[in-house]
Structures are given as structure tokens and as C-alpha cells.
């Protein structure tokens, strides 16, 4: 089963490389399903919160703005999150640590860039269900992990995706990045990375050589 997820999952080496390269990251670029991926999705009607919210306060989901996902979309969101980062011997799955809530909050924000992410993700969910219906006469969330993986293998690489699926591949790339961002900013994700931030050190010898080699710096 592990081999089936090899090209979809996010391993620790990949994540460390992303963390070290974060400062150089660039913003991501844009069928009943494929047509929806280029159509205009109405933005959220809520207003932004203006200046930063009170950082000492804990906000409940939906308190800053109405959330977007329907129950059906949440099932699709959870299935795709868990295909990208499933539970293993070291950590729980992405959905188990609240990544679906994180993405729902993200796409519900009433700001132009996030409204575009909202359009792309909702259209991507629609494509997944349409493709699942075409292949197996059921929804994406109802498929077995192996069948979900087979669909995502066709869209998990922009370089390898067929021309007709480029827009869907862009959706998958965005969703994979959001899943990783949500998971690895959680307590379980930080533990999986063995993140040691905010701990005073008597000395610092620099990044380990294996990390530098992994990102091409040694």
C-alpha cells in the first residue's frame, strides 16, 4: 500500500526542503469539471477583518467569516487530505489534526488571492467527483484509497499531466501545498518533522550535512 502513495504523499525529506526554501517560494499560478476550472466562482460575501485580529483571542471556526465547505465537500476534502498525508507509524492523518478546517477557513477568506484559491478548489472537488462517477459510479470520498490514488496519479504532476488535465493538476498542486502547510504547522506535524524551534541552545553548529545535501547546498 505504501508504494501506491509514493508519488502522492509528502515525505519528511521533501518537507524539510520546502521549509528551507520557503523564503524563495513564489505564488502559485490558473468539464462540467474542466470548464468549471476556468469559470468565475463567486467570491465570499464577508468583509475582511481589516487590521490584525486580537492575537490573544482564540477564534472559533467561522467566527471571522462564514465557512464554505458543504458536508459533501468536507468529505472530499478529508479524503484528499488523507491520501496526501495518511496516518502512519509516526503521526496521524492530515484530516485528524484539523487540516480540513484549516483549508475551509483559507478558502472562505474574503480576499482576492484566497477567493481565487476557493474557486480552484471547489472546481477541483467537482472534477474529482465527476471523474469518480465516470470511472466507478460513485463519489471520490466513497472510493477505496487505491482507486483514489489511481485518479490522483493522473493529476499529481504538472509536468506529466495530459494537456486536458493541466488545470486540474494546478488544483492538485495547490491542495497538496495547503495540506502540507496545515499539517506541518500543527503540533503533530511539528513532532513528525522533529522541529526544535523556540528552544534555547548553548551552541549552534548549523544544519546537518544530510539536510544540506537534500536541498543541494552541500
Count of Cβ atoms closer than 10 Å to residue 204 Cβ: 6
Residue 112, CA distances (Å) to 11, 104, 141, 184 in order: 31, 16, 29, 25
Contacts with 81 (C-beta within 8 Å, 6 or more apart), sequence order: 93, 94, 95, 99, 100, 103, 179, 182, 183
Give which of 66, 46, 29, 40 is closest to 122, Cα–Cα. 40
The C-alpha R_g of the chain, in whole angstroms, comes to: 18
Q: In the structure, what pLDDT confidence band is assigned to residue 218 with cuts at 50, 70 and 90?
A: confident
pLDDT digit string (tens) for 102-132? Answer: 999 999 998 889 999 999 999 999 999 999 9
Residue 201 pLDDT:
80
Q: In the structure, what pLDDT confidence band is assigned to residue 203 with cuts at 50, 70 and 90?
A: confident
Give which of 114, 112, 92, 88 is closest to 102, Cα–Cα. 114
Cα within 13 Å of Cα(59), Cβ side: 14
Region 177-197 average pLDDT: 90
Distance CA 49, CA 47 (A): 7
**Mean pLDDT, rounded, of the chain:** 82
Amino acid at each position: 500500500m505504501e508504494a501506491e502513495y509514493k508519488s502522492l504523499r509528502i515525505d519528511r525529506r521533501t518537507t524539510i526542503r520546502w521549509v528551507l526554501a520557503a523564503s524563495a517560494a513564489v505564488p502559485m499560478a490558473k468539464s462540467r469539471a474542466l470548464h468549471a476550472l476556468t469559470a468565475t466562482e463567486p467570491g465570499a460575501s464577508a468583509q475582511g477583518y481589516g487590521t490584525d485580529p486580537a492575537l490573544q483571542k482564540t477564534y472559533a471556526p467561522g467566527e471571522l467569516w462564514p465557512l464554505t465547505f458543504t458536508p459533501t465537500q468536507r468529505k472530499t476534502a478529508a479524503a484528499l487530505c488523507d491520501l496526501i498525508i495518511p496516518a502512519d507509524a509516526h503521526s496521524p492523518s492530515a484530516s485528524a489534526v484539523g487540516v480540513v478546517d484549516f483549508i475551509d477557513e483559507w478558502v472562505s477568506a474574503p480576499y482576492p488571492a484566497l477567493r481565487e484559491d476557493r474557486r480552484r478548489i471547489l472546481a477541483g472537488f467537482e472534477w474529482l467527483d465527476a471523474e469518480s462517477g465516470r470511472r466507478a459510479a460513485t463519489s471520490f470520498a466513497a472510493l477505496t484509497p487505491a482507486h483514489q490514488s489511481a485518479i490522483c496519479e493522473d493529476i499529481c504532476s504538472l509536468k506529466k499531466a495530459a494537456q486536458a488535465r493541466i488545470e486540474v493538476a494546478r488544483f492538485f498542486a495547490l491542495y497538496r501545498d495547503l495540506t502540507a502547510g496545515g499539517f506541518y504547522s500543527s503540533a503533530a506535524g511539528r513532532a513528525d518533522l522533529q522541529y526544535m524551534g523556540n528552544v534555547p541552545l548553548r551552541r549552534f553548529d548549523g544544519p546537518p550535512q544530510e539536510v544540506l545535501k537534500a536541498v543541494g547546498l552541500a
